[in-house]
Amino acid sequence: MNDDTIGIGCDWGTSNLRFYRLGNSGQIIERRQFSAGVSSIKDNKFEAFFTKAIQDWLDNYPNIPVIVSGMAGSRQGWKETSYLPCPANIEKIVNKLTPIKLNYGRTIWIAPGLSYTNYQGLHDVMRGEEVQILGALSIIDRKKKLICLPGSHSKWATVAAGHVLEFHTFITGELFEAIKAGTIIGSMIDPNAWNDDAFIQGIESVGTSKNILNQLFTVRTKGLFNQLTSTTAGAFLSGLLIGYELAGALAGTRFKKIYLIGDGQLTTLYQKALLHKGIEPQVFAPDIIASGHFKIIKIINQDV
């Protein structure tokens, strides 16, 4: 083919599968997306689904690198790859790429996840977000920064000089859903209602009580004392939990700007929460991951 396609990036997460055909300046020439996360692939048929989804690309560009990131490298995924300990950078990630030889002979590469072990020996892990972070690192400067990736498991990564130094996962989103589904607080909430003021009130209420297990009960008492209704309780709870996450993630830091990678309503909430705390959020769309794939592809191509 007479175009400048130099590689293929693939982000195979728990619930989505995304492909990027990348040009020689890193531009996305073509993008494909499937609601076919790792958890939806039965009988280990990863290769069949993968090759069918981009058969034409594989045929048309027989010699370009293909990089797969995300849960495809997990125990429940296509091929388990180990975690690369932090601090980690692009070179270490490239050195840990795991080859998969497809049935018809072509080799593709699965990226490792990252792990971080704190001074007390507790581990944290990510898979996929590290390539999004690599993408963001090609845009932001090399000073120490804090990057947040909102999600049902939010990740907060400290980066500097092209390295991911450490990161922490907060299960805020998943806990919010579990509280809605399974507690007396959840029974107060109209799931279709939202109220921005109540969200901000939730953020502001963080730390006004003994601890979060106690504070969650105040959502209930605010209902009893008519300070929350079914239309405001959900937003208040969301603000309380995201605010509590921010209190943990920002403790001891003095960043005036935080980089967010994400889109949709959840990322908008993190923007609002940060702005309310006087911190400027700068948002990258999730497709920033293609810039991470591009950086990996460039190194591989130079090595050839």
Please give the residue ranges that form the binding site for a second copy (CB under 8 A).
Answer: 75, 118, 120, 122-125, 153, 168-172, 174-175, 177-179, 181-186, 205, 208-214, 216-218, 220-222, 224-225, 241, 244-245, 247-249, 251
Toward a second copy, which CB reaches closer, 158 or 291?
158
User: In angstroms, what is the minimal distance from the CB of 164 to a second copy?
Assistant: 16
Toward a second copy, which CB reaches closer, 220 or 287?
220
User: In angstroms, what is the minimal distance from the CB of 217 to a second copy?
Assistant: 4
CB 124 within 8 A of CB 157: no
Toward a second copy, which CB reaches closer, 26 or 234?
234
User: In angstroms, what is the minimal distance from the CB of 205 to a second copy?
Assistant: 8
Q: Which long-range contacts (CB under 8 A, 24 or more apart) does 155-162 make?
A: 155/126, 155/129, 156/249, 157/126, 157/129, 157/133, 159/133, 162/89, 162/90, 162/137
Toward a second copy, which CB reaches closer, 55 or 221?
221
User: In angstroms, what is the minimal distance from the CB of 271 to a second copy?
Assistant: 19
Name the DSSP letter for residue 188.
Answer: G
Structural tokens at position 209: 């009580």
Q: List, in sequence order, the alpha helices (H) in 225-288.
A: 233-250, 264-276
Q: List, in sequence order, the alpha helices (H) in 96-141.
A: 129-137
Residues sharing a CB contact under 8 Å with residue 186, sequence separation 6 or more, in sequence order: 179, 180
Pairing of strands 83-85, 257-261: unpaired
Toward a second copy, which CB reaches closer, 48 or 178?
178
User: In angstroms, what is the minimal distance from the CB of 224 to a second copy?
Assistant: 6
